[in-house]
């Protein structure tokens, strides 16, 4: 399945170019939280997107109607469609209506992943309708008329569909921190089964709100390194002490390679394998042997018809928690054997934080761009490797090398484990 368009909203900049520049330069976007007063929380740091919806072309009506996460998704979707060449070819009009020269709108679908939905708006509106939590108002005119849109995550798929004029299948995938990978995997399956010709797919989340920060404070999953936020996210480092919350969105235009060739579209990469598993074990705990992630990797590579030795780069989940990084290291060794030691691995969460459901799609974008540019992004802040994380985690500095095949993995609360394989266009694959 061809990726022919990429759109990104991420900490450190809006747009694919800015995102890739931040990653390859090894810069971090983690700072003290500015979106609300976080002084009473254990962890007071996050990777916030420098995002002005009016500057990004959203109308005042759209800004009022949409949650911040929905705004991210719409901006990313519009960039992806424009980048794919569909808009330039007249297939998609400026207002999102599919033109007569373009694809059948009933054959264009949308799949959006999200872990926490419109948390930011719901948190804000709760304060409004409950007088800051002191009293619930019987007069519901206190609430905004778009409160229902914030209440249902399905509004994300609806907003993206409206923005690009897609009238085919539309859905939301919510599997925690693997939502971004799973949403794209679902979109690929819809095209393969014949339900759509083109899918606009990816994920979005804007979780930097008091309720979300409180959730992770309660289980001490986030880093309390408040005096040094720029270096707080340090996956695979011996001194790591939790992940740093982030936000953002990445959306893609997906289509069969033959369709992309017919219309002369640029192909960043092909998605050639995907699998997901659940450990059926614990909401936040992980078995130390990495068995379930390893199984997802094995099945994804089998679907891709590629041997483990074909993997040139692994885009890790790399959250920066003690157990996740060790679990993931074990999974790579279990799935790839000795080849795990010869393969560069990195975590972009070290630079853009952990945007929950959105991060999987941002990692797919990074994986496709690694193939496109022949660069492996680094793991920032990795100064003291954990002896139990003894693989090549590409510390501090990006690495130029030819990248033909990328394995991107995700791990989420609830035991979700997902793996996706991306390959350079036209890469010869067989059966092993």
Contacts of 72 by beta carbon, 8 Å cutoff, 6+ apart: 9, 49, 51, 204, 206, 247, 248, 249, 358
Tokens of 64: 């009022």
Contacts of 37 by beta carbon, 8 Å cutoff, 6+ apart: none
Determine if residue 203 is left, alpha or beta; phi over 0 gives left, psi from -120 to 50 gives alpha, anything else beta.
Answer: beta
Q: Does residue 354 have an active-site annotation?
A: yes
Measured CA to CA, the distance from residue 362 to residue 353 in angstroms comes to 11
Q: Does residue 317 have an active-site annotation?
A: yes
For the chain, the 3-state helix, strand and coil shares in percent, each to the nearest 5, are 35, 20, 40
**Which residue in the list 231, 317, 327, 389 is annotated as catalytic?**
317
Contacts of 52 by beta carbon, 8 Å cutoff, 6+ apart: none
**Which residue in the list 177, 186, 327, 389 is annotated as catalytic?**
177
Q: Which helix (H) or strand (E) holds 18?
A: helix 16-25
**Which residue in the list 231, 327, 354, 389 is annotated as catalytic?**
354
Tell me the CB-side half-sphere exposure of residue 361, using CA atoms within 13 A.
48
A 10 A CB-CB count for 406 gives 25
Q: Which residues are catalytic?
A: 177, 317, 354
């Amino acid at each position: 399945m061809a990726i022919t368009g990429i759109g990104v909203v991420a900490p450190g900049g809006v747009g694919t170019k800015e995102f890739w520049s931040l990653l390859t330069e090894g810069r971090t976007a983690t700072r003290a939280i500015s979106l609300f007063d976080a002084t009473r929380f254990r962890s007071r740091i996050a990777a916030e997107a420098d995002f002005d919806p009016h500057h990004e072309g959203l109308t005042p009506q759209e800004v009022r109607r949409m949650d911040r996460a929905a705004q991210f998704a719409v901006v990313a979707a519009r960039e992806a469609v424009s980048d794919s060449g569909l808009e330039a070819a007249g297939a998609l009009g400026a207002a999102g209506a599919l033109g007569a020269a373009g694809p059948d709108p009933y054959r264009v679908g949308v799949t959006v992943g999200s872990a926490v939905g419109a948390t930011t708006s719901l948190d804000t509106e709760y304060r409004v309708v409950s007088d800051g939590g002191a009293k619930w108002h019987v007069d519901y005119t206190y609430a905004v008329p778009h409160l229902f849109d914030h209440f249902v995550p399905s509004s994300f798929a609806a907003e993206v569909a409206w923005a690009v004029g897609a009238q085919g299948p539309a859905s939301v995938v919510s599997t925690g921190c693997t939502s971004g990978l799973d949403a794209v995997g679902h979109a690929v399956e819809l095209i393969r089964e014949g339900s759509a010709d083109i899918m606009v797919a990816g994920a979005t989340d804007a979780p930097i709100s008091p309720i979300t920060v409180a959730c992770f404070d309660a289980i001490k999953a986030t880093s309390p390194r408040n005096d040094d936020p720029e270096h707080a996210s340090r996956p695979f480092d011996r001194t790591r002490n939790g992940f740093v919350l982030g936000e953002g969105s990445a959306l893609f235009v997906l289509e069969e390679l033959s369709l992309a060739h017919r219309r002369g579209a640029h192909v960043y990469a092909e998605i050639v394998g995907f699998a997901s598993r659940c450990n059926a074990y614990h909401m936040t705990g992980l078995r130390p042997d990495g068995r379930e992630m390893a199984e997802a990797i094995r099945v994804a590579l089998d679907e891709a018809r590629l041997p483990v030795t074909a993997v040139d780069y692994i885009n890790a989940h790399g959250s920066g928690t003690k157990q996740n990084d060790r679990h993931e290291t074990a999974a790579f060794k279990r799935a790839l054997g000795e080849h795990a030691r010869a393969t560069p691995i990195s975590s972009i969460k070290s630079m853009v934080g952990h945007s929950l459901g959105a991060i999987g799609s941002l990692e797919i974008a990074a994986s496709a761009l690694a193939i496109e540019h022949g660069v492996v992004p680094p793991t920032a802040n990795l100064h003291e490797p954990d002896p139990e994380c003894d693989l090549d985690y590409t510390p501090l500095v990006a690495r130029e090398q030819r990248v033909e095949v990328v394995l991107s993995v995700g791990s989420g609360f609830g035991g979700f484990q997902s793996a996706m394989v991306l390959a350079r266009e036209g890469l010869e694959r067989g059966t092993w």
